[in-house]
Chains A and B, each alone.
Chain A
Amino acid sequence: MKHRWRTRAGLVLASILALAMFLPACSGDTDPTTAPPTTTAADPDANIKNPESFIMATIGYPDSLDPAYGYDTASGESVQLVYDTLLTFKGASTTEFLPALATEWTISADGKTYRFHIRTGVKFHNGNDLTPSDVEYSFERGMVQDYGAGPQWMFFEPLLGGYSSRDIEPRIPLQQITDAVQVDGEWVQFNLIAPYAPFLQILAGPWGGIVDKEWCVQNGDWDGSEASYAALNDPDAGASPLQAIMNGTGPFKLERWDPGVEISFVRYDAYWQGPANFERVIIKTVDEWSTRKLMLQNGDVDYAYVPATNFAEMEGATGLTIIKNLPTVTVDSFFFQMSISPQSTMVGSGKLDGAGIPLDFFTDINVRKGFSHAFDFGTYLQDALSGQGVQAASPVINGLSYYNPNLTTKYNYDLVKAREYLQAAWGGQVWEKGFTLTLAYNSGNLPRKLACEILQAGLFAINPLFKVNIQVMQWPTLLRGMYTGLLPAFQIGWLPDFTDAHNFVVPFMHSQGTFSGWQNYNNPEADALIAEGISSIDPQVRQQIYDQLAQIYYDDAPGILLAQPLGQRYFKDWIQGFVYNPALPSQMCNIYLLSKTYK
């Protein structure tokens, strides 16, 4: 019995193989829902595959489809297709806005009251009307849920001055949350605790997505009560009631989420700005680069994510539209550890005897400046980023508000200067005895590996007694090393939560900031300026502050700012209408604007 079946399976396979050779390569018009395209020789669109769909092949997959919970770019990408925000970024700008679910807004003179007039006549995908109380509910619900590793701190900081609903035990009173956002007729008002200039940018992020109150409550989400607040606050991973269901007002409705594989959306015909060009949007996760590349070349996907290290091999590819020189809002840096952990195994002898470094090695500014001048930026840009990047002069990089293109606060590769500083370091002992330390990078990250090698070569060229060892680590191990001070210096990049200068100067320079905190870098002057910068509403004052901070970063050299990579986008040449906006989570930016045609 079994045997017969097996041989039959083998036969079936063999015959299929034979058959497949004679099958037409493309089995089109099998989809009964779309009329077959009129194929005449004159129609340039006749050869477009899946004309009604926009299909992407990328890496990574969403954590959650709940706008208040997701904090990764893949989640944001899906959320922004389905949920509208009060306002959106205007074209390619990261600092100017267009009305969306709010038709207009006002900001009080003291910068503490934001009022939004809510659009009427908008319907959610389930047919419910959008009301101002839905808007109020969306933000209060987010703060009530306040997932521990989620984005809600962005609302707590401006509205309540804290960082989380659990800043006090067991959690802050519900009253504080509900007082922060209020309905006033057709308007919704946000009451800030102090001026917070990037507030509009935060509202335009995926976490600013507006949900339907009635539908949320039906699905077991916050019902407004204290008990429900206690029950829903800080959910376990994936435990949000909106984890895998969606109901927004956006151009697309969730069709199906196949976690780890793909997620698909269908057009919402009653969208308030008019129906989208695509009947479907499908985002596929394809881990293997070669497979993604073939899918793109075959036109089975309209867009594929291309890693920077593969830009070169895509040069001259046909049938594609390649868009280059897109500033990405991220910058990798070396961060020097001011107070290395005694447990560290990367400091050799732990003394300044040539065979190691003392734990406070980088507290001497001459060491930091010497290292900064010993880094060959030109080679780094060429080899690590295929020439697709620019050296950063400040943590406030291109794409952020208050980015200043005229700053001159860049270190240059200058071995003479590097030698001068290192000769002065530690009263001349560094020069005399040399040192040995170990740098680490995370496995698979080629640019970071090259950066380590470039620094190693630069230092060795100055003095053969300067020995840098390089070690590869798995990402979790590297993270632990950064977090607990085991690494003498570490390399990492930051991604924006919102595209305001404040969002970068904090992690890079504030004593409580993420990276600077790990580094044990503490500069009271910088802390004061950062606080002043966020609470000021005068753009000129803010510009001065961030330029001053750039100067401090240069003078203090707590780390080496490397480069801001320039991104590239690769899609089939039948995709039109791409507008780049680095503030949007999707690699495709605003998918609603895209169309599929040669005309």
Chain B
Amino acid sequence: MSKIPAYLQRGYITPEELFSIIPKPSEERLRKRPVAVPECPQEIPCAPCREICPTGAISMPTPNDLPVVDYEKCIGCSLCVQICPGLAFFMVHYVGDKARITMPHELLPVPERGEEVVLLNKVGEPVGMGKVITVVPREKSKGDTPIIVVEVPIELAWDVRAVKVVRE
């Protein structure tokens, strides 16, 4: 039997595993503007990200190939994050000692701009608090999925992939 990748045994992928499959954007690129990073390591028949990308930054010869983003062509528009049926696209942007993570948020309540939210890592553990910078509501999202931009400590840039809204 061929070896089962660890991420398929656990259900989440570590940054090391991900970047052994696709290249990591350079520090310089991450500082310039938001860049789209697909956390989509399997060959599944799916292509909306490639079809919606306005700059042709996503290469995928057939729908069964992995999406690979040309980080130089990516303009950080977030359309892929909005459309992705697997909710597997994220954008990362380094700003000072913070990172801004763009992520889908298909849960209630949808946080408000400026709200402090609990940051969740890839296994749903709370790892700190972060501030919501931007909210694109469902009605304005290209893929019927609300997306949010959350500011997190830079060292959590590759850990935080969800948030929890806690209101009194």
Indicate whether A and B interact: no
The residues of B with any CB-CB pair to A shorter than 8 Å are none
